[in-house]
């Protein structure tokens, strides 16, 4: 099937939540309008509602999770960013995983957070060692062979306990269920600005007159009356989920596969630079499977039951924008969450709550400001 597995794992209530309020605006004058029903928008709407920032309406052009969120792997692995990202990013990512755990506790029925171990494999332990983090436990090849029987080559490993994963659509559905007003199938098409405020938002289902607006549209929105100049691109990725297998992996085994429910394996997360077609490419799926078989020969012939691709929204430095639209007093944007938007959604939401409620940028705001793009920035007109 050329679709993500996530929808098939949901129950009827969760599925219904993803298409809630189809085509109708329940609250045309909300205190706060959130545009975009991916994880950033839904987490922000839920946090604003929870913080008591007045009436909150969320609109989404398609169904909840129609963008990158519905195709993500759903892995929440802050510690591995020690190897690739600056320390402030890793600290925020850690804080965000903690907030996922709080959401799991505080949301009715939880948000579907699964506690998992992450094991990175390397034929050469020296390849990972220079970036040692206190969270990492180093595993000798003999021990790795016991944890993951059948590896084609002896591998050393780096083990990190208590990382996370979610079915991104389940998390969306559970968070959305806490919201009083959601309209799917409603796209924002334009805004009217008066003075330094957005006074109305035109949509495919009529006009909304919000007190404040957050655009959480994956990429910066393209709307009549709003001229946002922030550079962006999209990076396509392919993923697959295999048929069930008796092999049990100890959590997320990078770069091999992640153990899912009922014995299926989630594999991939390619970076298909320059491929702008929304089509699933058979040759990429075959190459993902070939990599799996080469690492674990016993899996040779295991079929992919689900194959899909989606696009990561990205700004040039790979970091998100979380910013007020500078010449507007009542409009914010969060975009470009690239490969960690699921992980970072709770801290993004909390940063926006603090900014909107206090009218002051939070301490971490400069790192996510659009002003970092020289000569271009987040102005509304």
Q: Which range, of 98-106, 132-140, 152-160, 307-315, touches ligand FAD by CB under 6 A? A: 307-315
Q: Which range, of 1-9, 25-33, 104-112, 341-349, touches ligand FAD by CB under 6 A? A: 341-349
Query: Of 156 and 325, which CB lies nearer to ligand FAD in the complex structure?
Result: 325
Q: Does 21 bind ligand FAD (CB under 6 A)?
A: no
Question: Which position among 31, 50, 51, 62 is part of the footprint of ligand FAD (CB under 6 A)?
Answer: 62
Question: Which position among 7, 19, 145, 187 is part of the footprint of ligand FAD (CB under 6 A)?
Answer: 187
Query: Of 151 and 342, which CB lies nearer to ligand FAD in the complex structure?
Result: 342
Neighbour count for residue 175 (Cβ, 10 Å): 27
Query: Of 284 and 302, which CB lies nearer to ligand FAD in the complex structure?
Result: 284
Q: Does 78 bind ligand FAD (CB under 6 A)?
A: no
Q: Does 198 bind ligand FAD (CB under 6 A)?
A: no
How far is the C-alpha of 3 from the C-alpha of 307, rounded, in Å? 6
Q: Among 375, 334, 337, which residue's Cα sits nearest to residue 47? A: 334
Q: Among 148, 152, 161, which residue's Cα sits nearest to residue 97? A: 161
Q: Among 63, 75, 4, 6, which residue's Cα sits nearest to residue 36? A: 63
Q: Does 315 bind ligand FAD (CB under 6 A)?
A: no
How far is the C-alpha of 202 from the C-alpha of 184, rounded, in Å? 15
* Sign, CA torsion 361/367/368/372: positive
**Residue 111: CB partners within 8 Å, gap ≥ 6?**
100, 103, 104, 166, 170, 171, 174, 175
Residue whose token pair is 């957005």: 198
Q: Does 312 bind ligand FAD (CB under 6 A)?
A: yes
Q: Does 251 bind ligand FAD (CB under 6 A)?
A: no
Q: Which range, of 17-25, 68-76, 149-157, 297-305, touches ligand FAD by CB under 6 A? A: 68-76
Question: Which position among 310, 328, 349, 353 is part of the footprint of ligand FAD (CB under 6 A)?
Answer: 310
Angle of helix 168-176 relative to helix 39-50, nearest 10 degrees, comes to 30
Q: Does 75 bind ligand FAD (CB under 6 A)?
A: yes
Q: Does 256 bind ligand FAD (CB under 6 A)?
A: no
Q: Which range, of 79-87, 149-157, 175-183, 304-312, touches ligand FAD by CB under 6 A? A: 304-312
Residue whose token pair is 């050329």: 2
* Shortest reach from residue 4's CB to ligand FAD, in Å: 9
Q: Does 266 bind ligand FAD (CB under 6 A)?
A: no
Q: What are phi and psi of 103, to 5 degrees?
A: -65, -40
Q: Give me Rg for the CA atoms of the chain.
A: 21
How far is the C-alpha of 282 from the C-alpha of 294, rounded, in Å? 18
Q: Does 30 bind ligand FAD (CB under 6 A)?
A: no
What residues from 136 to 165 belong to the interface with ligand FAD (CB under 6 A)?
A: none
In terms of DSSP bridges, do strands 56-60 and 181-184 run parallel, antiparallel, or are they unpaired?
parallel
* Shortest reach from residue 97's CB to ligand FAD, in Å: 10
- Contacting residues toward ligand FAD, per CB under 6 A: 35-41, 59-62, 66-69, 71-75, 187-188, 216-218, 221, 237, 239, 269, 310-313, 337-343
């Amino acid at each position: 099937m050329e679709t993500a597995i996530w929808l098939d794992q949901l129950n009827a209530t969760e599925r219904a939540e993803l298409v809630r309020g189809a085509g109708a605006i329940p609250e045309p004058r909300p205190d706060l309008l959130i545009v975009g029903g991916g994880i950033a928008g839904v987490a922000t709407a839920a946090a604003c509602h929870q913080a008591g920032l007045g009436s909150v309406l969320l609109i989404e052009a398609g169904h909840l999770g129609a963008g990158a969120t519905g195709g993500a792997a759903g892995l929440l692995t802050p510690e591995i960013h020690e190897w690739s990202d600056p320390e402030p990013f890793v600290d925020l990512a850690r804080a965000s995983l903690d907030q996922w755990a709080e959401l799991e506790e505080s949301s009715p029925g939880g948000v579907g957070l699964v506690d998992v171990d992450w094991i990175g494999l390397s034929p050469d332990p020296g390849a990972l060692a220079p970036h040692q983090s206190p969270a990492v436990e180093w595993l000798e090849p003999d021990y790795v062979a016991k944890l993951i029987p059948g590896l084609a080559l002896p591998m050393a490993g780096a083990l990190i306990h208590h990382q996370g994963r979610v079915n991104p659509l389940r998390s969306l559905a559970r968070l959305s269920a806490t919201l009083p007003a959601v309209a799917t199938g409603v796209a924002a098409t334009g805004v009217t600005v008066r003075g330094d405020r957005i006074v109305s938002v035109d949509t495919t289902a009529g006009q909304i007159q919000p007190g404040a607006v957050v655009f959480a549209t994956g990429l910066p929105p393209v709307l009549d009356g709003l001229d946002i100049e922030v550079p962006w691109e999209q990076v396509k990725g392919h993923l697959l989920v295999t048929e069930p297998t008796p092999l049990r992996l100890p959590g997320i085994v990078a770069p091999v596969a992640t153990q899912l429910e009922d014995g299926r394996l989630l594999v991939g997360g390619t970076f298909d630079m320059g491929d702008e077609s929304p089509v699933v490419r058979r040759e990429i799926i075959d190459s993902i499977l070939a990599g799996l078989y080469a690492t674990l020969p016993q899996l040779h012939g295991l079929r992919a039951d689900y194959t899909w691709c989606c696009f990561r929204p990205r700004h040039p430095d790979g970091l998100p924008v979380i910013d007020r639209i500078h010449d507007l007093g009542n409009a914010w944007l969060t975009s470009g969450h690239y490969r960690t938007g699921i992980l970072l959604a709770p801290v993004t939401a909390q940063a926006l709550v603090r900014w909107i409620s206090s009218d002051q940028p939070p301490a971490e705001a400069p790192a996510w400001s659009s002003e970092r793009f020289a000569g271009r920035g987040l102005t509304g007109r």
